[in-house]
Amino acid sequence: MANSDSNWRLWGERDPYYAVLTDPRFRDGSIEHNRRTFFETGEVFIRHWLAQIEMHFGALPRGRALDFGCGVGRLTLPLTDHFESVVGLDISPAMLEEARRNSVGRRINYLLSDDALSRAEGQFDFVNSFIVLQHIPVKRGLKVLNRLLESVAPGGGCLIQFSIRRRHGWRHELLYRLRHRVPGGQALMNLLRGKAVDAPAMQMNEYSLDVVLRRFHECGFAKMLVRFEDHGGTDTAMILARRS
């Protein structure tokens, strides 16, 4: 299978905003005209979903927040409006550098991530990970999920999203498997599409909802709310939860 980490690092170097939010307006050649719109989507997202969590589970402590897979800071930046300090984690050095440029004067510590979240010390009152785990192979992603859940402080909350099913036709699925699971498949597909041989791709990995919910329960999350969405033909689940 193609290396999801190396692909993400390439996205960070070549087209970081589009990699975070796949909308043509946010391509590298267009982002300067649409930068404000890009970050406004993050402000709306954080404001809405924090309100949903607190409506269902009560007010959260507003000390520390963690944004896993922070990219260029789209969701990390607005977290500073709601929490005293924020940590952003990402595996792409280029993404982190761009995020730092976007966050001058904000209370954010951007750190290079690993699967153990070893640089994110302590626990957090809120942990966010949106459109991130779906790009990580499931075996690794479940280990990361465990660490994310363990990092939520008692009484804290989290928002974690992942994909559960691709609903594309057989031809699309065949090409997807060729691109991501056959050695040299990604390079071949790039050539056929007139792209650079080493153009990065995005994996979409499917998680078992039963397995994920069991992990939440085992980590002390008695209260959970699941929201299902369609992201371009892929079924996703977003779990809002509070730790006992």
Judged against a pLDDT cut of 50, whether residue 194 lies above it is answered with: yes
Alpha-carbon distance of 136 to 157, in angstroms, equals 22
192 vs 78 pLDDT, higher one: 78
pLDDT mean across residues, the chain:
92
Alpha-carbon distance of 185 to 179, in angstroms, equals 4
Identify the pLDDT of residue 110. Answer: 99
22-54 burial by CB neighbour count: b if 16+ within 10 A, else e?
eeeebeeeebeebeeebbebbeebbeebbeebe
210-234 burial by CB neighbour count: b if 16+ within 10 A, else e?
eebbebbeebebeeeeeeeeeeeeb
**pLDDT over 70 for what percent of the chain?**
91
Amino acid 189 reads M
Q: Which residue carries 């990219």 as its tokens?
A: 71
Identify the pLDDT of residue 1. Answer: 42
Identify the pLDDT of residue 198. Answer: 74
Give me the domains of the chain, ranges plus CATH numbers: 4-165+203-242 (3.40.50.150)
Identify the pLDDT of residue 133. Answer: 97
Judged against a pLDDT cut of 90, whether residue 187 lies above it is answered with: no
What are 18-54's pLDDT values in tens digits?
999 999 999 999 999 999 999 999 999 999 999 999 9
Judged against a pLDDT cut of 90, whether residue 189 lies above it is answered with: no
Judged against a pLDDT cut of 70, whether residue 219 lies above it is answered with: yes
What are 64-117's pLDDT values in tens digits?
999 999 999 999 999 999 999 999 999 999 999 999 999 999 999 999 999 999
Q: What does the block give as tokens for 238?
A: 């977003």
Judged against a pLDDT cut of 70, whether residue 190 lies above it is answered with: no
